[in-house]
């Protein structure tokens, strides 16, 4: 059960990391349909992972996963990310977590959170930001494209509210 949970967690984290590093036109967000919507394509590489067994021994509700990544666009590192997930329900067939994290760029941060079972692709909400990302919302979609790795492909759709 613990191996299943750790494997699922690694898969989700890898997907998040890979998504952040997929090539993008530039390190900065690029405009799409309007000036208020920007999309980042990133490849994310996991740099650390820690699973914290809280409560009942083995994989159980309340356990935490903490991950860090570096994210790339067009082969250049554009940010680093942090992620904390808490297990909500755990069974032999499912690992449901609530995650919160941040993409940390040199000119601000993008905060995200949401529930997932790490089945890819999955999408969580962009809940806000700082710096040039102040007043941002949107969504982060993660897809594992490289099976058996800790690399993910991420698409970050940012909506800037005036």
Of the candidates 105, 124, 106, 127, the one whose C-alpha atom is nearest the C-alpha of residue 114 is: 124
Q: Is the model's pLDDT at 15 over the cut of 50?
A: no
Q: Are 99 and 85 in contact (CB under 8 A)?
A: yes
- Say if strands 95-105 and 108-116 run parallel, antiparallel, or are unpaired: antiparallel
Domains of the chain in start order, with CATH, are 2-160 (2.40.480.10)
Q: Which pTM value belongs to this model?
A: 0.76
pLDDT (tens digit per residue) in 141-150 = 998 776 677 8
What is the C-alpha to C-alpha distance for residues 54 and 75, in angstroms, rounded to an integer?
38
pLDDT (tens digit per residue) in 65-104 = 999 999 999 999 999 999 999 999 988 777 899 999 999 9
């Amino acid at each position: 059960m613990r191996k299943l949970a750790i494997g699922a967690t690694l898969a989700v984290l890898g997907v998040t990391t890979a998504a952040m590093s997929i090539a993008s036109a530039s390190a900065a967000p690029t405009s799409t349909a309007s000036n208020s919507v920007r999309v980042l394509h990133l490849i994310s590489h996991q740099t650390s992972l820690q699973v914290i067994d809280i409560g009942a021994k083995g994989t159980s509700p309340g356990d935490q996963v903490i991950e860090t990544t570096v994210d790339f666009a067009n082969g250049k590192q554009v940010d680093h990310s942090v992620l904390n997930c808490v297990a909500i329900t755990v069974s032999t067939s499912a690992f449901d977590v609530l995650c919160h994290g941040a993409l940390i760029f040199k000119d601000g941060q993008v905060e995200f959170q949401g529930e997932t079972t790490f089945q890819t692709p999955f999408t969580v909400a962009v809940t806000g930001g700082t710096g040039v990302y102040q007043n941002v919302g949107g969504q982060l979609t993660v897809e594992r494209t490289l099976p058996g790795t800790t690399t993910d492909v991420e698409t970050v759709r940012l909506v800037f509210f005036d």
